[in-house]
Amino acid sequence: MKTLKLTLLCLFVSLMMHANVSQTEKEALVALYTATQGEQWNTTWDLEQPVATWHGVTVKNDKVVGLNLHMNNLQGRLPQEIGNLIYLQKINLGFNKLEGNLPKAFFNLKELKSVKLFVNAFEGNIPTEIGSLTKLEVLELFSNTFSGEIPSSIGNLKNLKTLVLGSNYLTGNIPTQISQLTKLEVLSLIDNKLEGEIPAELGSLVNLKELVLASNALTGNLPTTLNNLTQLNTIMVSGNNLNKDMVSIIDTPEAIPMKLHFVTETALATEED
């Protein structure tokens, strides 16, 4: 039995080593390596070895389906060729030194389910084409320098469960189209320049567990529709221009089942001490 298991393991490793990734996908990865100063990565690639052996690359059925290069000292801009990784389902380039706009070709990656580009120096608007990635479940772009308004096309991402856009320079109102993301569990827009009132439509996000809107320029009251969010356990709205009677939402009997962790400026100061 042990011999059989060892044989099967060796066969599996052999198949992985000789995965026949298409030349187009390999060239796309090489372009990424070159554009982001691959020789200076913390863990480099041996371009003479099979793609399946390259650090952070996941190959399944001879297709590149995963790319995880977080905290690997990538520097520079993403090349247009990244759009040729058309089978990619997950990409994590967090905690690097990437900069510039997201290339248009990035939005060719229609199979993407998870995009994590946090803690880099990406800039420019979040392109409206983001709405074409309809299989997305996770979108984390926090701690970059994205600016402009959150595109209304984000409402097309009906499978999204996590949306984290905090610590950028986003402006304008919170788009009401976010209310169409009924699978959403985490919504964090903290530390931007968002203004206007918190949309009452957010009360449609019945699966929401965390709502983090602190450190913006939001005005008005917390909408009473948030009482509909029975799964909500964290709400952070400090550092805005909301009315002082915000407690109206948490003092109502309907709000009691929510068990909100309601964070005010005073509470934050206490926790930081």
List of domains in the chain:
1-112 (3.80.10.10), 115-121+137-273 (3.80.10.10)
**pLDDT-wise least confident of 71-85, 87-101, 164-178, 258-272:** 258-272
User: Is residue 270's pLDDT more than 60?
Assistant: no
Contact predicate 193/171, CB 8 Å: yes
Residue 2: what pLDDT?
54
At 1, is the pLDDT very low, low, confident or very high (cuts 50, 70, 90)? low
What would you measure as the largest C-alpha separation in the chain, in angstroms?
A: 71
How confident is the model at residue 255, as a pLDDT? 46
Check residue 80 and give its pLDDT: 98
Q: What is the dihedral of CA 194, 197, 202, 208, to 10 degrees?
A: 60
107, 129 contact by CB (below 8 A) = yes
Residues 168-200: tens digit of each pLDDT:
999 999 999 999 999 999 999 999 999 999 999
Distance separating alpha carbons of residues 165 and 189, to the nearest angstrom: 5
Stretch 148-170: mean pLDDT, rounded? 99
pLDDT of residue 191: 98
DSSP per-residue string spanning 41-99: SSS---TTS-GGGSTTEEEETTEEEEEE-TTS--EE---GGGGG-TT--EEE--SSEEE
pLDDT higher at 267 or 150: 150
Is residue 260 predicted with pLDDT exceeding 60? no
List C-alpha distances in Å: 235 to 54, 58, 203, 247.
41, 36, 13, 12
pTM for this structure?
0.86
Q: Supply the DSSP symbol for 150.
A: P
- Mean pLDDT over the full length of the chain: 88
